[in-house]
Structure 1
């Protein structure tokens, strides 16, 4: 329990790094007991946050031994917070970790990946987020909600269940709201898409948006909203959407221009399509992201195209 409390406090710091996240994952993997202890500590922390003001009053009273303290039941405050011994010690320890955030407001943590870079982060609540290349994401947790802003890019969210604190993703003038589930959000220049692998996801326009409908997505569904606001709901295999995490891109009748845009986020040398008509050519198949030369060679086997160097770029032409 002590190690779990220490990890909880460590993950609340403003300067949490990727190294911290990797060490945390390693600690969780050491033993199933570690994960269980962290979940119990996290639940205790959430209970504390729900009754934060009352707990702080009790802590202040406990620091004045000259005055007798009378235990008074307060709404929403469990009796074990008011008794002595280990339970109160844990409460005091968690207060040390939580009080700075209560006083200063929720800290914002930002993450960004570059070309060809993927990153996995473990959030303070135990949720896991996988970031695709060229993705910008910020995280802000408070007592009432877990908020994430996906400014650009794509991410897979495996959200820890917490009925008291919804997990909210803001992207492209829309809000994705869940309690605990697994889903992918893609926010690129060509539009927004949300794909659900587990649980239910509510997607609706942000308060500032002027149009759009609300959707409740279930496992195996994808909502796509293009740049004009056109909405399309379809049934999909979520694992195909998630395949970028393992270095594969799966396409079904996707325009070549969109495929090239994806590849340009994975490699430094950029690819250009010679004309718009060629860019509309549909691509169906799996592209393995090993090295760029092999990727372009396999793409030329799937389509009647060839590539030639053009300055610092590769130019795709019709054969």
Structure 2
């Protein structure tokens, strides 16, 4: 029988913690593996301590700009500090420990193999576009949307920088389809769903199939699983709300050239219209912005919606000589 001392046990726990931590960081854990990781952490105080050490150490890395992180990785390759685990952990957030762990845990996402296929997708303000990817998946871009696509042997990715996309993903269990939008991520194998990004806020609506929606800092992410007819929203500072039933048909009506409102405040109607109008629409006063609106507006020709608005609400749309447009009470 082999005799393991405390150092061997700590090293084994540290190595396993790095394995789970790296997989969780890169978003490659399956639901079953996530349960296995949780069970491993619960199995001993040493396991949990080693994992929490990695979380604590890398909280600061969540806010590091990518160019600074790349510089750290480059320095790591050049310096290659000696492997003295006890000394490095004693240094806490010291540079040698930081660089070594970046290279071993965070580094793979920056040094990943080159993609098999890449594309930049964009739509102008007031424009909608459709793109068909090499795997047969279809992406419907709403107004003022910008995204990049990259296909790898083991995954398909779309990075949504801004805007809104309705995805119809061709099923491929061996190559998950991942949508990254700031601190939020959507993972599927094949389904139809809508992702909208406003700044750092991200909304998801599932039309068919099921998806996994995760959001938050990488060291403390929350995960929601959504079936068809469910929606969820991630808001900076408030986190990821629980998934709940929603009217997906209304949320995706833009794909059919319509905006649908049911008892919505006028301020929300104006905010939606401003996503499509070349010149922003303003409300004369805050009190008027609370007026409730129900109706539908076309967006194929966004300016024409301003002619319809007085038909569904007691308002007047005034076009001023400086080119601005203001809504006043009728």
> Structure 2: which 5+ runs fail to align?
1-111
Residue 214 of structure 1, CA deviation: 1.2
- Alpha-carbon distance between aligned partners in 1 of 2:116 and 2:285, rounded to the nearest angstrom: 48
- Aligned equivalent of 2:168: 158
User: SS state of the match for residue 194, structure 1?
Assistant: strand
Counterpart pick for 1:289 among 274, 281, 299? 299
Q: In the alignment, does 2:147 pair up with 1:115? A: no
Q: In the alignment, does 2:327 pair up with 1:316? A: yes
Q: In the alignment, does 2:196 pair up with 1:180? A: no
Residue 307 of structure 1, CA deviation: 1.4
Q: In the alignment, does 2:273 pair up with 1:263? A: yes
Q: In the alignment, does 2:200 pair up with 1:201? A: no
- Alpha-carbon distance between aligned partners in 2 of 1:156 and 1:283, rounded to the nearest angstrom: 26
- Alpha-carbon distance between aligned partners in 2 of 1:142 and 1:206, rounded to the nearest angstrom: 25
- Aligned equivalent of 1:234: 244
Q: TM-score, normalised by structure 1?
A: 0.62
- Alpha-carbon distance between aligned partners in 1 of 2:273 and 2:219, rounded to the nearest angstrom: 31
Q: Describe the superposition over 1:15-40 as per-residue Cα deviations: whole angstroms up to 9, x where unpaired.
A: xxxxxxxxxxxxxxxxxxxxxxxxxx
Residue 205 of structure 1, CA deviation: 1.4
- Contact 2:279 2:324 survives alignment (8 Å): yes
Q: Is the deviation greater in 232-241 or in 247-256?
A: 232-241
Counterpart pick for 2:253 among 236, 243, 253? 243
User: SS state of the match for residue 222, structure 2?
Assistant: coil
- Contact 1:135 1:152 survives alignment (8 Å): yes
- Aligned equivalent of 1:40: none
- Aligned equivalent of 1:217: 226
- Aligned equivalent of 1:77: none
Closer/same/farther in 2, CA of residues 256 and 312 from structure 1, 3 Å limit: same
User: SS state of the match for residue 267, structure 1?
Assistant: coil
| Structure 1 vs Structure 2 CA RMSD | 2.4
- Contact 2:224 2:243 survives alignment (8 Å): no
Closer/same/farther in 2, CA of residues 103 and 291 from structure 1, 3 Å limit: closer
Q: Describe the superposition over 1:84-115 as per-residue Cα deviations: whole angstroms up to 9, x where unpaired.
A: xxxxxxxxxxxxxxxxxx98544531111111
Matched pairs, number: 217
- Contact 1:108 1:138 survives alignment (8 Å): yes
User: SS state of the match for residue 245, structure 1?
Assistant: helix
Closer/same/farther in 2, CA of residues 232 and 309 from structure 1, 3 Å limit: farther
- Alpha-carbon distance between aligned partners in 2 of 1:309 and 1:288, rounded to the nearest angstrom: 19
Q: Describe the superposition over 1:177-202 as per-residue Cα deviations: whole angstroms up to 9, x where unpaired.
A: 00100000011148321000111010
Residue 308 of structure 1, CA deviation: 1.0
- Contact 1:270 1:312 survives alignment (8 Å): no
Q: Describe the superposition over 1:50-104 as per-residue Cα deviations: whole angstroms up to 9, x where unpaired.
A: xxxxxxxxxxxxxxxxxxxxxxxxxxxxxxxxxxxxxxxxxxxxxxxxxxxx985
Residue 213 of structure 1, CA deviation: 2.6
Q: Describe the superposition over 1:248-277 as per-residue Cα deviations: whole angstroms up to 9, x where unpaired.
A: 011233332232222222232321122333
> Structure 1: which 5+ runs fail to align?
1-101
- Alpha-carbon distance between aligned partners in 2 of 1:278 and 1:132, rounded to the nearest angstrom: 28
Counterpart pick for 2:311 among 294, 301, 305? 301
